[in-house]
């Protein structure tokens, strides 16, 4: 079961523009469809706008990753800055369904009919955007030998490495 990131913003929607509330997240996991859960910590400011609620603030993620060079597991951290506007689907006073000029935008970041703002999807998207595509355990990671699979960070192997002759002229420049 994932981290619950829902907050009722009915009272905030009834207040004047500029009113704000803090929403802190310090949870054990935030799941994604294609990766392991991450520990998430955030301090978000929820601010009333003329149409909805603006969520802003820093968020950090900690998770176990696998190095793309040597295939060793390592702890990874990523940080992002949340900056999203969420629009209510119904009017907080009358209960009437609200329509917006760009309805497709409203569906992506909407506050449901019970005035609950769910930040899970937004935080998952920020996590994916902040995550490196090819993570490495350290900048100077040597990776693994393509012949025998030995971890070259731990020891050298005795494999004869295939050198593509098409690159020989460039190799001579660095020698």
- Each residue's pLDDT tens digit in the chain (175 positions)? 445 688 999 999 999 999 999 999 888 677 666 667 789 999 999 999 998 999 999 999 999 999 999 999 999 999 999 999 999 888 777 766 777 666 554 445 688 888 899 898 888 889 889 988 999 999 999 999 888 888 999 988 888 766 777 888 888 887 6
Which pLDDT belongs to residue 162?
63
Which pLDDT belongs to residue 104?
55
In a domain? residue 12:
yes
Which pLDDT belongs to residue 58?
97
Residues 75 and 128 in one domain: yes
DSSP 9: -
Residues 160 and 171 in one domain: yes
Residues 107 and 159 in one domain: no
Tell me how many domains the chain contains: 2
In a domain? residue 95:
yes
166: domain range?
142-175
**13 with 40: CB under 8 angstroms?**
no
Which pLDDT belongs to residue 70?
94
Separation between Cα atoms, residue 173 and residue 163, nearest integer Å? 15
Which residues, including other chains, have CB under 8 Å from residue 150's CB and lie 6 or more apart? 144, 157, 159
Residues 104 and 156 in one domain: no
Separation between Cα atoms, residue 30 and residue 48, nearest integer Å? 26
Which pLDDT belongs to residue 112?
85
Tokens of 14: 């009834």
Residues 161 and 132 in one domain: no
Separation between Cα atoms, residue 69 and residue 136, nearest integer Å? 6
State whether the Cα torsion 45-81-105-30 is positive or negative.
negative
In a domain? residue 1:
no
Which residues, including other chains, have CB under 8 Å from residue 35's CB and lie 6 or more apart? 63, 131
Instruction: Give me the phi and psi of 11, to 5 degrees please.
Output: -65, -40
């Amino acid at each position: 079961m994932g981290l619950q990131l829902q907050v009722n913003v009915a009272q905030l929607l009834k207040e004047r523009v500029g009113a704000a509330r803090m929403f802190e997240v310090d949870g054990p996991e935030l799941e994604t469809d294609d990766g392991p859960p991450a520990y998430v910590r955030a301090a978000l400011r929820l601010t009333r706008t003329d149409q909805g609620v603006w969520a802003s603030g820093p968020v950090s993620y900690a998770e176990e990753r696998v190095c793309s060079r040597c295939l060793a597991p390592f702890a990874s951290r990523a940080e992002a800055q949340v900056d999203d506007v969420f629009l209510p689907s119904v009017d907080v006073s009358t209960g009437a369904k609200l329509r917006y000029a760009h309805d497709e935008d409203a569906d992506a970041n909407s506050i449901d009919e019970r005035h609950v703002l769910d930040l899970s999807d937004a935080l998952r998207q920020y996590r994916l955007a902040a995550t490196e595509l090819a993570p490495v355990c350290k900048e100077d990671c040597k990776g693994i030998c393509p012949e025998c699979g030995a971890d070259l960070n731990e020891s050298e192997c005795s494999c004869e490495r295939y050198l593509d002759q098409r690159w020989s002229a460039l190799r001579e420049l660095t020698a």
